Structure 1
Amino acid sequence: MKKNAQTALIHAPRRAPQYIQTVQPPLFRASTIIFENTDALFNRHWTDAYDYSYGTHGTPTTFTLGDHIAQIEGGLYHLLAPSGLSAINLVNSCLLSQGDEVWVPDNIYGPNMEHLRNLQQRYGIAVKVYNPLEVESFSPSDKAKLLWLEAAGSVTLEFPDLVGLLKKAQAHNILTALDNTWGAGLAFNAFDFGNEHLSVDMTVHALTKYPSGGGDILMGSVVTRDQHLHHQLFRMHAIQGICVSGDDVAQVQRSLASMQLRYEHQAKSTIELLNWLKLQPQFAQVLHPADATSAGHAYWKEICRDGHSAGLVSVIFDNNYKLQDIRNFCDSLKLFKLGFSWGGPVSLVMLYNLKEMRVLEHSHLKEGFLVRFCIGLEHPEDLIQDIQQALKVLA
């Protein structure tokens, strides 16, 4: 059939073969996906392992990354979301209904708590707070539906009693969701840990951090091993129109090959920095799971294989320093940049006031303002010198 010139611009007369072997998988950009025939259209179901029906449901690009993330974390089923927080909100909105009870650690990621408080106000969901170091503080009622876990905890980096908490949740038939961003699937296998091969029900991972590694891509994931739970989450995922850009997915996929190398390098630099920070008199306390003095160290040692730990370390300044003093310190840093997130090449610093972030009393934490260092790929000696020169403003 002879085509008009305009039609020929859209329907090319020839098309190159679609598949060749390359180092990186091919990139598919799609909203509309073309069905070969009506059989392909109608003899499909949204629960198929690879449902190529519309761009929001997935393409070979997104399924390739999702499969890879699930494999790294030890799971079987995956969903991708446009950010870590979006993945968290997917879990909350899918699994929690009016009257349900959800339990969160006192060191929970702040935006997760904010989302749950919003659900509490709008739908009557009861938000309960527990101490992640004390299983006894987790005392669920018969309305408890979901237990959130963080390993290590946000900002203060306590490593929880994962074994004790998970056993108690399972005894009460409560679903468990672990924010696995710190461990990245490398520090431990959340679906097979401890001497009894325990497993959480699902993990949430901010792929923005270590999987991306560049500080320039936002993405999240939810991974499970249970098909029924996956279908629940997938249905909500589809209803809410949650999807990710193929270009962003390709960038994260490209970075996965170096993720473990970066993770281990940044962790090693952090340990070197930790040992120096502990000697500085300006700090009342240094927080890192691998340090024997840090809360939850024994739990970290039990769970994390080969002594893995991420590139985060927090310090609590001596309580004699005022807020302006700590702000002056942060402003004086040169290599450390003031910003949220972590896992990228540039080291970051962030200032926190724990009194505004915690519900429970914690005797293991000193009084004072907290600063979290997120270690990048710079040489640790240069980072130490940067902190050293910034501390002079406190003199």
Structure 2
Amino acid sequence: MSDKSTELIHHPYLPPEGFAAPQPGVFKASTVIFPNVAAMRSREWKDKTGYTYGLHGTPTTYLLEERLCALEGGTQCVLVPSGLAAIANVALALLKQGDELLIPDNAYGPNKALAEGELKDWGITHQFYDPMDLQDLARRISRRTKLVWLEAAGSVTLEFPDLREQVRVCRNANGGAGVLTALDNTWGAGLAFNPFELGDGLGVDISAHALTKYPSGGGDVLMGSVITRNEALHIRIKLTHMRLGLGVGANDVEAVLRSLPSLPLRYCAHDQTARALARWCQTRPEFAQVLHPALPDSPGHAQWLALCGDEAGRAAGLFSVLFDARYSQAQVDAFCDALRLFKLGYSWGGPMSLVVPYELASMRQAWPAHLAPGHLVRFSVGLEAATALQADLVQALAVLD
């Protein structure tokens, strides 16, 4: 009787080369097989000239990394399990005890929490700066500052900073020695603007992206990326990536690769519907303020206009409202509960519209002067029809009467 188990594992058949299809093949591997000892000893895991181990890359992950570089304008990329993991990878690669980190006060909350938690415990200090005040950023940079986070638009309140001038301030800091900049580019998704080419020869050093959002597009994948144009900086990030054992599943990579070709179409659809609803909300007496970078009276509109091209420039599918101060938090919560198409849930970028009420006062150092008083609700617009979503808002607002 033949040894079936050995035969099944070591069967010699290999399929012929030359197969081509719209979707790339999916390679799943922890172990990578080497043809000989010389190859095992000579292969370099830090570049894409070969394969050494599943965590260091497969044809599937290499392909997504290269396509993301093309999307965002970078040259080097690592994939991580979430957008927050991308932020953490950057921080752990570039900061050490005694260093200081600057974060905009309207940054993604978990970025701030990381600085206030683990980084602080490891002797890395931080300051929160006003993203709409270039002088505030400039005066907080010191010799101890090793990294400045940027975010456009800001989390929840969607202020759009003067990103180009922020990068200029950081580049000219400390007598021209400069300080590294990292942008959370999830909102822009590589489509609203090129983070590495902001104009006047200015660009960020690092772009972190929550692929969980628009690149995935399905609300069913957690993944992030860190992209650079600087080889030495990339190696620092990649070494930390290796030491932390960060990896992503091949099936998740496959899902993002499948969604990428439709990204521009989906982003445009989210954007158009969000603008229509935001403009409609401006006509409603229940709302004291509507926040969306493309609205002329939204904080940072002029900066969005300058960076994203014109009134038709891209602006994602998020907008927030501040309810008139006469409404209590309980009333605002009842409005959110009454929504039928907008579902209560975190994240965004998928086909389903979402809504979250936020306690903004607990998220900022102080109440921003450019915001009206009132309780804030953020909407993430999905791919439903604008008329259906507007009708949902109308019926939910009726609970306030």
Please give the range of the TM-score, normalised by the shorter of the 2 chains.
over 0.9
Could you say which residue in structure 2 is the equivalent of 1:271? 275
**Per-residue deviation at 1:361?**
4.1
Q: Does 1:249 align with 2:253?
A: yes
Equivalent of 2:322 in 316, 321, 336: 316
Measured after TM superposition, the shift of residue 48 of structure 1 is: 2.4
Structure 2: runs of 5+ lacking an equivalent: none
**Equivalent-residue separation in structure 1 for 2:252 and 2:264 (angstroms):** 20
1:45 aligned partner: 44
- Return 149-158 or 42-51, whichever deviates more: 42-51
Q: Which amino acid aligns with 1:296?
A: G
**Conserved 8 A contact 1:76-1:224:** yes
1:171 to 2:172 alignment = yes
Gaps of 5+ in 1: none
CA distance in 2, matches of 1:368, 1:103: 28
Find the counterpart in structure 2 of residue 146 from structure 1.
147
Cα deviation, residue 49, structure 1: 2.7
Residue in 1 that maps onto 2:64: 65
Counterpart of 1:301 in structure 2 is 305
- TM-score, normalization by structure 1: 0.97
- Measure how far apart 1:132 and its partner are: 0.8
Q: Deviations over 1:314-367 (max 9, x none)?
A: 000011111110110000000000000111000000000110000144110111
Separation in 2 of the partners of 1:375 and 1:301? 21
Compare 47-56 and 58-67 and name the one that shifted more. Answer: 47-56
Letter aligned with residue 365 of structure 2: V
Could you tell me whether the CA contact under 8 Å between 1:131 and 1:360 is conserved in 2?
no
Partner residue of 2:186? 181
**How far 1:17 sits from its partner (Å)?**
2.2
Deviation at 1:41, TM superposition (A): 0.9
Contact 1:336 1:383 in 2 (8 A): yes
Is residue 2:381 matched to residue 1:380?
A: no
Shift of 1:303: 0.5
Would you say the 8 A contact 1:77–1:224 is kept in 2?
yes
Q: 1:218-272: CA deviations, max 9, x gaps?
A: 0000000000000000000000000000010001000001000000011001111
Deviations 1:119-145 (A, max 9, x none): 343122111111111100112111100
Task: Tell me how far apart the structure 2 counterparts of residues 152 and 256 of structure 1 sit (CA, whole Å).
Answer: 22
Q: CA separation in 1, counterparts of 2:324 and 2:72?
A: 39
What is the number of residues matched between the two proteins? 393
Secondary structure (helix, strand or coil) at the match of 1:85 reads: helix
**Structure 2: how far apart are the matches of 1:217 and 1:197?**
35
In the TM superposition, residue 45 of structure 1 has moved relative to its aligned partner by: 1.8
Q: Among residues 268, 282, 287, which one is paired with 1:283 in the alignment?
A: 287
1:13: how far off? 3.5
User: Which residues of 2 match residues 309-388 of structure 1 at below 5 A?
Assistant: 309-388=315-394
1:51 Cα deviation after fit: 4.1
Between 1:48-57 and 1:362-371, the stretch displaced more is: 48-57
**Counterpart position of 2:118:** 119
Q: Is the 8 A contact 1:106 1:360 kept in 2?
A: no
SS at match of 1:36: coil
Measured after TM superposition, the shift of residue 90 of structure 1 is: 0.5
Q: C-alpha distance in 2, partners of 1:13/1:170?
A: 57
Q: Which residue of 1 aligns with 2:233?
A: 229
Distance of 2:166 and 2:148 partners within structure 1: 9
Aligned structure 1 segments of 4 or more residues deviating by more than 4 angstroms = none
SS of match in other structure, 2:55: coil
Contact 2:170 2:179 in 1 (8 A): yes
Q: Which residue of 2 aligns with 1:8?
A: 7
Q: How does 1:78-227 map to 2 (within 5 A)?
A: 78-138=77-137, 139=139, 140-172=141-173, 173-194=178-199, 196-227=200-231
Rounded Cα–Cα distance in structure 1 between residues aligned with 2:264 and 2:350: 13
Superposition TM-score, scaled by structure 2 size: 0.96
SS in 1 for 2:356: strand
Residue aligned with 2:54, SS: coil
Aligned partners of 1:280, 1:64: CA distance in 2, in Å?
47
In the alignment, is the contact (CA less than 8 A) between 1:151 and 1:159 conserved in 2? yes
Question: Aligned-pair distance for 1:46?
Answer: 2.5
- Shift of residue 3, structure 1, vs aligned partner: 5.8
Between the aligned partners of 2:2 and 2:252, the Cα distance in structure 1 is 36
Cα distance per residue 1:37-88 (max 9 Å; x no partner) = 1221111223223441000001000010011011100000000001001111
In structure 1, distance between residues paired with 2:294 and 2:248 = 35
